[in-house]
Structures are given as C-alpha cells and as structure tokens.
Amino acid sequence: MAEIGPNTRLRSSVFYEETVKEGVTAFSPYNRMLMPTSYGDPMAEYDRLINGVSMWDVSVERQVKIKGPDAARIAQVLSVRDLSGIQVNQGKYVPMCDHRGVLVNDPIVLKIAEDEYWLSIADKDILMWSRAIAAERGLRAEITEPDVSPLAIQGPKAEEVAAALFGDWVRDLKFFWFRDAEIDGIPLKVARSGYSKQGGFELYLMDGSRGPDLWNIVREAGRPWGIGPGNPNPMERIESGLLSFGGDTDDNSTPYEAMLGKYVDLHLDDGVVGIKALRGIHAEGPARHLLGVRLEDYAPRPGHAVWYDVMAAGKKAGSMTNGCWSPRLKQVIGFVLVGRALRPGDTVEVIRNGVATPGMLCDLPFL
Ligand code: THG
C-alpha cells in the first residue's frame, strides 16, 4: 500500500496510532488532517452508537483560540448568533458567515474565560479568517491553534462511561456546558456535546503527548458497556437531521438554506460579518432549502453517497447532498437541497449512477 504524509500540510491526529491498532479502514480529509470514518464494520459501529457506546477520534475538530482584551467582540463579529448571554464554561452552536451571508462554518463557540474563546470548527480555515477579520478591525487578541484534540464518547451508555471516568458530576452537565477535569494527570475539558443525537460527551485533550494514554483509559473504562471505536456516523446523523457543513452546503448556502435559520439573530449590530446581507436574504426569502427524501429503494447497501441530481417534473430541481441506508427506517434516505417551490410530500426522482429512483420529500429530522 502507498503511504501518505504526514507532513506539515497533513497533520497527524494524536490518536492516530491507537486508531490504527483498532483497525481503522477509512479516513476522510478534514482541516488538513485525516478523520477516521470506518473500522470495517459499519453496522456494528452504528449499533454501538444507537444501543451502547462508541468512542471517536474527532481531533480534526480543531480549536481556534482567541485570547485578549477584544476576544468577546471578535467571537461576536464572526458569529451571526447573539453571544451576549454566553457564560464561562458554556458552549453554543453558531453559524458563521461571510459578507454575503453565506456559511463559512458552524462551530461550537466555547467561552473559556472572560478574555478567551475557542471556536471548535468544522472543515475550513477559520484560523486565517479570524485573524484577518480581527486585524482589519483593529481588534486586539492573539489568535492561535492550541494543542487541543477532542475525543468523543457517544451513545446511550456514554454517561455511564463518563461517570466511571470522572465521577457523578458529569450527569449534571447541561448540553454544551463543560468543566475542567484531570485523569491520570491528563488535562481535559469535559463537555456534554457531540455530533449525534444519541447523547454523550467530548473530552477536549489539552496535551497531545497523552493522546494514546487517554484513548486507552477511555477504552478500559468503557469495557463493561462494550465500548468500541466509531466515528461521526453518516447513517445516524442523516436519520437525526444533523447538518454537515461542506457536505450539505455549497458556496452559496446561507444559514436559512441549511436549517440554521433559528440560530441567526438579525438584531445584532452591523459589525457582525454577514448580518446585513442576512437581513436582506431573510426579507426576500431564501432561494433553496434542505429537506429529507425517502427513496423507493429498500435494499440495504453500505456506503454513503453525495450530490446526486434531483429531478422534479422532468427538470433538475436540486441535489441530494447525502444519502444512506437507514437501518431504523429500512429504506434509503437522504437530504436534498432544492428550490423553495418543492415541499414535503412532493415526489422527485434521484439520479444515481444514471438510474432514476423515485422518492418523496419530507421534513427533517427523519427520527
Ligand atoms: N464537536 C465539536 N466541535 C465540532 C463538532 C462537534 N465542530 C464542527 C462540527 N462538529 C460542528 N457541527 C455541529 C452540528 C450540530 C451539533 C454540533 C456540532 C449539535 N446540534 C444539536 C442539534 O442540532 O440538535 C444542538 C444544537 C442546538 O440547538 O444548540 O449538537 O461535534 N467539539
């Protein structure tokens, strides 16, 4: 087999060696790193997430650390959601837009201290973006990528594993809130969060040299509940209606077209990047929207497909941005990005590898 990197343009996860020992079989590029996307048995990985507990190397969710007197203002200027009420030790899911009101990211913003915020980002260079916006505005803060690597524990048994690791206080953590913790001298922030609707925690590892130690400590603690490796699971996230920035969005997607309209606060001041454009887009009504589609395809098939043509009344009406076999609905499902004229209940055809499959549009989430 051929080798790829690692080098300065393809950074290695601090959990990389452990994921290799676990038998990782696939990766996806993300923030100039590789995110594990399978360990070779998709149905077992899905089952652990739905019924048990799964541990994920999500260190590709890099942190952009903003520290300095203007940190709060910089976080707000970059976010189209009102951050004025955020408390220290709280996170919020926020859309970030460019000056056109087009999404550039959907991070979790963590308030670490009065003068320190982290943006826990999806795939795009927000370090460069943040530095440029802050400098152009004359705002004062250091903006860096810290040595922080999230490890997620997800699934209905995740709370048991987190309680075994840290104590019962984790049971009282509210969604997106976090606390400092230490295990075997490893510095962490423990948050109730994660990219699934099955519940769970994220351990923000703050010392990359301890990556293998942390992986093995979590693996051991989770053994009674059958923990095993997994990853942000395409089947579960599609069933649950979670957005994949860059997967379900393109270079024209606004928050209103990406199910994130409820996180836009149009009353924010004009200094917030994109807010003026969003006021106009909101008044006019967005051109497209994301809906679900249920295909007349009842054959379980592994894998996960993206950006197929969607036809309505014989004309191209948009794209199916993702699609998968749904183990719980026992049908192929996906998201479609289509014009606003198309509504739930309408029928379409999705062209996959030259073959048209009929389907019906529906609301999200599926489950
Ligand atoms: N964890 C961390 N950082 C991340 C992600 C993560 N950065 C990038 C990416 N994922 C951001 N995307 C999401 C998308 C959805 C959610 C979290 C991160 C999410 N949404 C809930 C929902 O839609 O129901 C709650 C949102 C709310 O109402 O506030 O959890 O996974 N560290």
Domain ranges for the chain, please list them. 16-62+148-237, 287-367
Mutate to test the pocket of ligand 1, among 57, 83, 111, 120 (most ligand atoms within 8 A of CB): 120
User: What was the pLDDT predicted at 353?
Assistant: 86
CA angle 246–248–350, rounded 5-degree value: 140
User: What was the pLDDT predicted at 301?
Assistant: 79
Fold matches, 16-62+148-237 and 287-367: no
**CA 122 to ligand 1: nearest atom:** 8
For residue 314, pLDDT beyond 70? yes
For residue 303, pLDDT beyond 80? no
Ligand 1 in reach of 36 Cβ (< 6 A): no
How close is the Cα of 138 to the center of ligand 1, in Å? Answer: 30
**CA 204 to ligand 1: nearest atom:** 32
CATH number at 16-62+148-237: 3.30.1360.120
User: What was the pLDDT predicted at 6?
Assistant: 66
Asked whether the beta carbons of 111 and 128 are under 8 A apart, the reply is no
Query: What's the CA gap between 360 and 345, in Å, rounded?
Result: 6
User: What was the pLDDT predicted at 1?
Assistant: 65
CATH topology of domain 287-367: Elongation Factor Tu (Ef-tu); domain 3 (2.40.30)
| Contacts (Cβ under 8 Å, ≥6 apart) of 195 | 58, 152, 154, 232, 237, 242
Ligand 1 in reach of 194 Cβ (< 6 A): yes
User: What was the pLDDT predicted at 179?
Assistant: 98
Tell which wins on pLDDT, 3 or 193.
193
Protein residue closest via CA to atom 22 of ligand 1: 242
User: What's the rounded mean pLDDT across residues 321-327?
Assistant: 96
**CA 193 to ligand 1: nearest atom:** 30
Digit-coded pLDDT (tens) for 151-177: 999 999 999 999 999 999 999 999 999
User: What was the pLDDT predicted at 300?
Assistant: 86
Protein residue closest via CA to atom 23 of ligand 1: 242
**CA 195 to ligand 1: nearest atom:** 31
User: What's the rounded mean pLDDT across residues 22-43?
Assistant: 96
Pairing of strands 228-230, 54-57: parallel
Asked whether the beta carbons of 365 and 239 are under 8 A apart, the reply is yes
For residue 2, pLDDT beyond 80? no
User: What's the rounded mean pLDDT across residues 299-303?
Assistant: 79
For residue 4, pLDDT beyond 80? no
Query: What's the CA gap between 282 and 266, in Å, rounded?
Result: 9
Digit-coded pLDDT (tens) for 95-143: 999 999 999 999 999 999 999 999 999 999 999 999 999 999 999 999 9
The proportion of the chain whose per-residue pLDDT surpasses 90, expressed as a percent, equals 94
Q: DSSP class of residue 197?
A: S
Asked whether the beta carbons of 86 and 92 are under 8 A apart, the reply is yes
For residue 259, pLDDT beyond 80? yes
Protein residue closest via CA to atom 19 of ligand 1: 195
Ligand 1 in reach of 160 Cβ (< 6 A): no
Angle between helices 126-136 and 71-78 (to 10 degrees): 110
User: What's the rounded mean pLDDT across residues 5-18?
Assistant: 89
Ligand 1 in reach of 123 Cβ (< 6 A): no
User: What's the rounded mean pLDDT across residues 173-185?
Assistant: 98
Mutate to test the pocket of ligand 1, among 64, 90, 93 (most ligand atoms within 8 A of CB): 93
Q: Confidence class of residue 273 from pLDDT cuts 50, 70 and 90?
A: very high
Backbone φ and ψ of 158, nearest 5°: -60, -35
Considering the chain, what is the average pLDDT of its residues? 96
184: left (phi over 0), alpha (psi -120 to 50) or beta: left
How close is the Cα of 108 to the center of ligand 1, in Å? Answer: 6
Ligand 1 in reach of 195 Cβ (< 6 A): yes
Q: Confidence class of residue 306 from pLDDT cuts 50, 70 and 90?
A: confident
Ligand 1 in reach of 108 Cβ (< 6 A): yes
For residue 181, pLDDT beyond 80? yes
Query: What's the CA gap between 82 and 258, in Å, rounded?
Result: 18
User: What was the pLDDT predicted at 8?
Assistant: 82
Angle between helices 211-221 and 158-166 (to 10 degrees): 110
Mutate to test the pocket of ligand 1, among 61, 111, 195 (most ligand atoms within 8 A of CB): 195
User: What was the pLDDT predicted at 226?
Assistant: 97
Query: What's the CA gap between 229 and 222, in Å, rounded?
Result: 11
